[in-house]
Amino acid sequence: MTDGTPILHMKDVRFQWPGRASFSLEVPSFEAGRGEKVLLLGESGSGKSTLLSLICGTIAADAGDVTIDGTRLSDLSGGARDQFRAETIGVIFQQFNLLPFGSVVDNILLPLRFAPERRARVSDARAEAAALSLALGLPDVQTAKAATLSVGQQQRVAVARALIGRPPLIIADEPTSALDANSQAAFLDLLFDQVRAHDTTLLIVSHDARLGERFDRVVQMADIARTTERAA
Ligand SMILES: Nc1ncnc2c1ncn2[C@@H]1O[C@H](COP(=O)(O)OP(=O)(O)OP(=O)(O)O)[C@@H](O)[C@H]1O
Ligand SMILES: [Mg+2]
């Protein structure tokens, strides 16, 4: 769809971790356009991961709206939100969250199990997993258990898993933090090749401003969010 509506729209969002009144996050307005590549920078503890959890719908805003691909998350029940996330968002976690005893292919195919629409976009899931493995430089380890992979290989499996079935939005929380500068550049080259090919929106969180030049837009957490951190 290229109807000009943003893939992500946040309006007057407020959130507090339950039982933890000392930290609160407010996002008056934040958007990402379809196909836009956005880098979100901010210091440790500024609420970046909290913001991503609000976008993924793993936590619910106390007030305001988070709208993804035209759907307001607060209109969905918990189960429907999990389903919506599986269909719409490819998530790359900082620790990758791979199934250690699953093979590379098993891990790449995992999201399709919970997302029939995403599954339907892939005619042959195993062939697609193999193609992504090849594109991401993993062809020799497809049957290897995730636990036996190097960190860089695990990172690429996490990318393939986020990309399979072409969700319109990819979100990554500090995906390059464990890599040296060369591996970091190679990793981002691979990720950008893939998301460009499908006009996928990419939102990456980092504290490393040097990554900025590759992105359409660099956003500072301090410019979109107000946080309060009070002594408890
Ligand atoms: N599950 C949780 N329960 C309670 N408080 C939390 C939880 N996760 C984060 N917080 C608090 O929310 C605040 C923001 O944390 P968050 O993890 O969003 O920051 P961040 O910007 O991602 O930091 P980092 O760069 O270190 O990853 C911190 O004060 C943190 O202690
Ligand atoms: Mg974080």
Q: What is the CATH number of the domain that holds 194?
A: 3.40.50.300
Assigned domain for 202 exists: yes
Name which residue sits closest to atom 24 of ligand 1, judged by CA: 44
| Tokens (6 digits) for 104 | 């590379």
Least confident range of 3-7, 59-63, 116-120, 213-217: 3-7
Assigned domain for 140 exists: yes
Assigned domain for 193 exists: yes
The domain total for the chain is 1
- Answer yes or no: is pLDDT of 231 > 70: no
**Ligand 1 neighbour 50 (Cβ under 6 A):** yes
Assigned domain for 24 exists: no
Name which residue sits closest to atom 30 of ligand 1, judged by CA: 45
Atom of ligand 1 at shortest range from CA of 46: 21
Assigned domain for 53 exists: no
Assigned domain for 123 exists: yes
Give the structural domain span for 93.
34-47+77-220
Give me the percent of the chain exceeding a pLDDT of 90: 72
By most ligand atoms within 8 Å of CB, the mutation choice from 16, 22, 49 for ligand 1 is: 49
Assigned domain for 56 exists: no
pLDDT score for 213: 92
In this predicted model, what pLDDT tens digit does every residue of 80-134 receive, in sequence order?
Answer: 999 999 999 999 988 888 999 999 999 999 999 999 999 999 999 999 999 999 8
Assigned domain for 58 exists: no
Q: Exposed/middle/buried for 37, CB within 10 Å: 0-12, 13-18, 19+?
A: buried
